[in-house]
Amino acid sequence: MSMLISKCPCCNSTLNITSLQCPDCGVEIRNTFELSIFDRLNEEQKNFLLSFLRYRGNLKNLQEEIGISYPTAKKRLEELLFALELIQDESINKEQEALDMSNIIVNRYSNRASEIIKAKLKDNGGRVTVYTATGLPCELWMNADGTSFTSDKLPIKPAYEYRVFDVIVDLLVSQGGRARKGNGRNYKLGEKNCDKTTVVGAVAIDRGNRTGDSVFDPVFVLAAILEWAGIVHNERGELVLTQQFSSKL
């Protein structure tokens, strides 16, 4: 039996199914049946989706199986999400207007995480997409004040300042280069998985929260940004400073 094709070989338009036939009794049903969104995926996208599901969204395991780099895996995931109509094409969906970054000052000689991330973000036009450990895309853009940033996955005010990355790195350095992420969703500040030795706890304390408070957990986004900047490895349950960044300290 031939594989289903979704595109016209002549004009590349999406095909419709006009006939269904039972292989047992031969009855034939004629109508115009629209292909499902999954039928419209090409073979590479289908294989990527199956691998992504098999590894429960773990891009690192998927990379090893397919033999591709992290940026390639991220690009294919973005293409798959667009094909499944879960996101819009960035070229036609710019929620943020072009940012005038001429007045945003960056110290390119600094080894502080805050300045490294600010510089890299500015070099990328002030707006990038980073990916969480599970492959979730997060939009990130600079704010005009030059001290804070915004993400579509961080709906919180006031916006986080770049110095939050220094808070995280200082915590990792104080614990030999690694620290547990913690869990701010199920634990209150001061409890074992949300105390000052965890990333979520350190960030919450820096935001002015007190012991016993329920806190917003931004670590999944902040960790993705730190990994994108080459500062940490976003491991399962913990953050680990990269050797490249550690050598600058």
pLDDT at residue 145 tops 70: yes
∠ CA 63-69-74, rounded to 5°: 80
Residue 221 structure tokens: 């986004």
Of 4 and 58, which is predicted with more confidence?
58
Q: Say whether 28 sits in a helix, a strand or coil.
A: strand
pLDDT band at 58 (very low <50, low <70, confident <90, very high): confident
Query: In the CATH scheme, what architecture does the domain 9-92 have?
Result: Orthogonal Bundle (1.10)
224 is written with which tokens? 């993705």
Q: What is the pLDDT of residue 241?
A: 98
**Across 180-196, average pLDDT:** 96
Among candidates 92, 157, 152, which has minimal Cα distance to 128? 152
* More confidently predicted of 190 and 71: 190
pLDDT at 142: 92
Lowest mean pLDDT among 4-13, 100-109, 121-130, 226-235: 4-13
Give the model's pLDDT for residue 101. 78
- In sequence order, what are the residues at sequence separation of 6 or more whose Cβ sits closer than 8 angstroms to the Cβ of residue 78? 87, 129, 137
Please give the Cα distance from 42 to 21 (Å, whole number): 24
pLDDT of residue 136: 87
Instruction: Select the more confidently predicted residue: 198 or 60.
Output: 198
Query: Which tens digits make up the pLDDT trace of 101-118?
Result: 778 889 999 999 999 999
Residue-level pLDDT at 151: 92
CB 118 within 8 A of CB 162: yes
- Going from N- to C-terminal start, the domains of the chain cover 9-92, 113-246
Mean pLDDT of the chain: 86
Question: In the structure encoding, which two tokens stand for residue 205, read together?
Answer: 């304390």
pLDDT at 87 over 80: no
Q: Summarize the confidence of residues 185-195 as an average pLDDT.
A: 95
Indicate the pLDDT class of residue 19, thresholds 50, 70 and 90. Answer: confident
pLDDT at 94: 45
Angle between helices 219-228 and 199-206 (to 10 degrees): 100
pLDDT above 70 (res 2):
no
Segment among 81-95, 114-128, 204-218 with least mean pLDDT: 81-95
pTM of the full predicted structure? 0.63
- Name the strand (E) or helix (H) holding 20: strand 16-21
Residue 205 has pLDDT above 90, yes or no: yes
Q: What is the pLDDT of residue 132?
A: 92
Instruction: Tell me the C-alpha distance between 132 and 124, whole Å.
Output: 19
Q: What is the DSSP string of 201-235?
A: HHHHHHTT--TT------HHHHHHHHHHTTSEEEE
- For 159-187, what is the mean pLDDT? 97
